[in-house]
Amino acid sequence: MDGLLRGILGILIGAWLYAEVYPLIQGNVLKVGDYGKLTFPGLVGVNPWALIVPLVLVCGGVLFWLDRKGF
């Protein structure tokens, strides 16, 4: 129980510190890695369905294989 209270206290202190520091890091640190809306089909340059259909078939095949193996 003591560890749980320390964990909750740590979460609250961390949230408070982040709220205090947020205005300072909003313009520079938080912009790093902001690439806008990225999708895998957009990166590869193909129609989304060209990735969805094979992915569904592969996942279905793996699940079918796992079921046959008894997992």
Q: What does the alpha-carbon distance between residue 69 and residue 71 come to, in Å, rounded to a whole number?
A: 6
Q: Where are the domains of the chain?
A: 1-34, 36-71
Enclosing H/E stretch for 35? none
Q: DSSP label at 30? A: G
Predicted confidence band at 34 (pLDDT cuts at 50, 70, 90)? confident
Query: Is it the case that residue 68 has pLDDT exceeding 90?
Result: yes
* Chain segment 43-67, per-residue pLDDT in tens: 999 999 999 999 999 999 999 999 9
Q: Which amino acid is at 46?
A: V
* Chain segment 8-31, per-residue pLDDT in tens: 999 999 999 999 999 999 888 888
* pTM to 2 decimal places: 0.49
